[in-house]
Structures are given as structure tokens and as C-alpha cells.
């Protein structure tokens, strides 16, 4: 379950990223760590995301979060690139990685399974569609907790 501050943090991070020519692709708050760790994954849509992008975003976001006083306790901020084995979250990513091998995790079992692998067919408003050896699997979006590229690949 996502931390309740994620929507507000995302609302602060998105305009900062846009101003820097970046895009926020994921925000996760690991409150079980000491100190808690706020991780923000960014992408440079024009070129490969580099260390300079992460540093610029980190400085700007750190300043904005401090000014907002949204997080009243000590935490560490980690800004990074999601890399290639990343989670898929946006419509653009689902379109770009159509046909690629993915892994889908569900919050509740679906057919006695919580992990699904297959080649991404598409995502619509209600379901994610996978191909497993030529068979289409439909996973309701409300059950999906994570979708990521699968490095191992799947035969379709």
C-alpha cells in the first residue's frame, strides 16, 4: 500500500521535474527504514537519464519539500533513474513496451497466483492483457500492485 503522502509529494515533484526537462516515473516512501527513505525515480525523455539530472532534481525537490513542511520527521531523499528493469506505470510506458516480457504482481490471488509473467499485449481502463504461450491472460487493474519488465523473457 502506498504511503498517504505520495500524492502530495508527487504534486510537488511533477512541476519541478517538468521545469528541469524531466519526468517523475515513480515515488515510493520506505517508512520501515531508519531513517525513512523517500525514493523518486525520474526520466529524461530527450536523452539517457544521467547523474546530473538526478542531482538537479534532488537539490530542487529537497528544497521544495523542506519549504512545504509536508514531512515532519527526518528522512533521506534518493533520486535516481529507474533503469531498464523498471516498473511500468504510465500509458506511454505500456504502449512503448507492448510485446515485451513483463511480470505482474497482484495484491490478491487471481486463480491462486499473485505473480504473472507474459508478453504485454496492452492495458486499458480495466485490465492488463498478457500473452502466455499464445493464450491471453486478463488481469483486472484493481488487483495489480506492480508491473515491471521481466529480464528473463517469456515465450509467447
Q: What is the pLDDT of residue 1?
A: 58
pLDDT in tens, 95-149: 888 898 899 999 999 989 999 999 999 999 999 999 999 999 999 999 999 898 8
Mean of pLDDT values over 79-100: 79
pLDDT in tens, 10-39: 999 999 999 999 999 889 998 888 899 999
pLDDT in tens, 46-63: 888 888 999 999 999 999
What residues contact 72, with CB distance under 8 A and at least 6 apart? none
Asked if 98 and 91 touch (Cβ cutoff 8 Å), the reply is no
**Nearest residue to 6 (alpha-carbon basis) of 19, 33, 21, 24:** 24
Q: Compute the distance between CA of residue 21 and CA of residue 43 in angstroms, rounded to an integer.
A: 9
Structural domains of the chain sorted by starting position, each given as residue range(s) with its CATH number in brackets? 6-80 (3.30.300.70), 91-149 (2.30.30.100)
DSSP 109: E
**Nearest residue to 136 (alpha-carbon basis) of 152, 149, 112, 120:** 120
The residue whose grid cell reads 492495458 is 123
Where residue 153 falls among pLDDT bands split at 50, 70, 90? Answer: very low
Q: What is the pLDDT of residue 136?
A: 96
Model pTM?
0.56
Peptide bond into 3 cis (omega under 30): no
Amino acid at each position: 500500500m502506498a504511503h498517504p503522502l505520495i500524492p502530495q509529494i508527487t504534486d510537488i515533484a511533477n512541476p519541478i521535474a517538468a521545469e528541469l526537462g524531466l519526468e517523475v516515473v515513480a515515488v515510493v516512501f520506505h517508512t520501515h527504514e531508519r531513517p525513512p527513505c523517500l525514493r523518486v525515480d525520474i526520466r529524461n525523455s530527450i536523452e539517457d537519464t544521467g547523474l546530473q539530472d538526478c542531482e538537479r532534481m534532488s537539490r530542487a525537490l529537497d528544497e521544495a519539500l523542506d519549504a512545504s513542511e509536508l514531512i515532519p520527521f527526518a528522512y533521506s531523499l534518493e533520486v535516481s533513474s529507474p533503469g531498464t528493469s523498471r516498473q511500468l506505470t504510465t500509458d506511454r510506458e505500456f504502449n512503448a513496451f507492448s510485446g515485451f516480457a513483463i511480470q505482474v504482481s497482484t495484491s490478491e490471488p487471481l486463480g491462486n497466483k499473485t505473480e504473472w509473467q507474459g508478453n504485454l499485449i496492452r492495458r486499458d481502463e480495466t485490465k492488463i492483457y498478457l500473452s502466455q504461450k499464445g493464450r491471453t491472460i486478463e488481469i483486472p487493474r484493481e488487483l495489480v500492485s506492480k508491473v515491471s519488465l521481466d529480464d528473463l523473457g517469456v515465450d509467447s
